[in-house]
Amino acid sequence: MPAELIDGRAIAKKVRAEVAERARKLVARGVRPGLAVVMVGDDPASAVYTTAKAKAAEEAGMYSLNVRLPADTSQADLLSRVDALNTDPKIHGILIQMPLPAQIDPDTVIRRINPAKDVDGFHPVNVGKMLIGERDGFISCTPAGIQVLLKESGVKTPGKNCVVIGRSNIVGKPMAALMMQNNENANCTVTVCHRHTADLKSHTRAADILIVAAGRARIVTADMVKPGAVVIDVGTNRVADARSKSGTKLVGDVDFESVREVASKITPVPGGVGPMTIAMLMSNTVRAAEMTLR
């Protein structure tokens, strides 16, 4: 029997409705949550993402500031802009769209953001808080969204073997740290695999929960998945497709058609993890505004 689809769009819609209600309550108390999205350059994909984030903020009743800077913007100028947003009382969340042009060091920029406004959850202060289990910081949006997907899909995580493929600072590392935390939505035994992992299949076949963020199209096939496992596909890859008008199509890091015959639950691409990332960004922004009233 094919795996049950984990509908990221439906779950994200639920999260965003909850966010909009929290935003309405804040507005009634005189605080309108504000999100600033800063993009440097004219990368088409980045433009799509920033527009989508700004639109989501507006739909939730938030104040949205979309800052577009030319590709030749200096690091000093960008840092100055971040400083201004840090002190702007209308702005509760700051997001710097990646990638940045070569003349700008992203780590320097991330560290310049006030941790209380770092709704992407990339500042070392927030990463550290997440790692030690403190809950007053911000968690990177994609891993946070995956935890919500698991919870809303009825997946019981305590005691399960969770295998994460990928060790990026954006997904892999925070995902592994979240799933080993001592709480009802984690308490897993976690294994992290990467390009130097020997016999990848032996690890993935042991996973009750397999989270794939490898950045390689269809790297996980059915023979690598334990029957009945829950499979979360974080990948977004463009591959050639003669049947498509554009000549390409979007696929994940999991060979969906074969793996869905083995897994118990699986996220599709698109429509799985992706919608949750923006939903959690909205949630983080509202929480940042809520924290100003405490």
Look at residue 56 and give its three-state secondary structure: helix
57, amino acid identity: A
Give yes or no for a contact between 50 and 79, defined as CB atoms under 8 angstroms apart. no
Q: What DSSP letter does each residue of 132-189 carry, written as one string?
A: HT-SSS---HHHHHHHHHHHHTT---TT-EEEEE---TTTHHHHHHHHTSSSTT---E
Tell me the residue ranges of DSSP E strands in the chain: 4-5, 34-40, 63-69, 93-96, 161-165, 189-193, 209-212, 230-233, 237-240, 248-251, 265-266
Residue 265 catalytic? no
d(CA 161, CA 145): 19
d(CA 93, CA 46): 18
Give yes or no for a contact between 197 and 245, defined as CB atoms under 8 angstroms apart. no
DSSP 3-state percent helix, strand, coil across the chain (nearest 5): 40, 15, 45
Of 118, 120, 253, 255, the catalytic one is 120
Residue 120 catalytic? yes
Of 53, 117, 129, 265, the catalytic one is 53
Q: Could you give the angle at the alpha carbon of 79 between the alpha carbons of 95 and 41, nearest 5°?
A: 65
Residue 253 catalytic? no
Using the structure block, give the residue that is written with the tokens 């740290």.
Answer: 177
- Length, in residues, of the chain: 294
CA–CA distance from 177 to each of 34, 114, 132, 164, 192 (Å)? 29, 23, 9, 10, 10
Of 13, 14, 43, 97, the catalytic one is 97
d(CA 93, CA 23): 13
Which residues are marked as active site?
Answer: 53, 97, 120
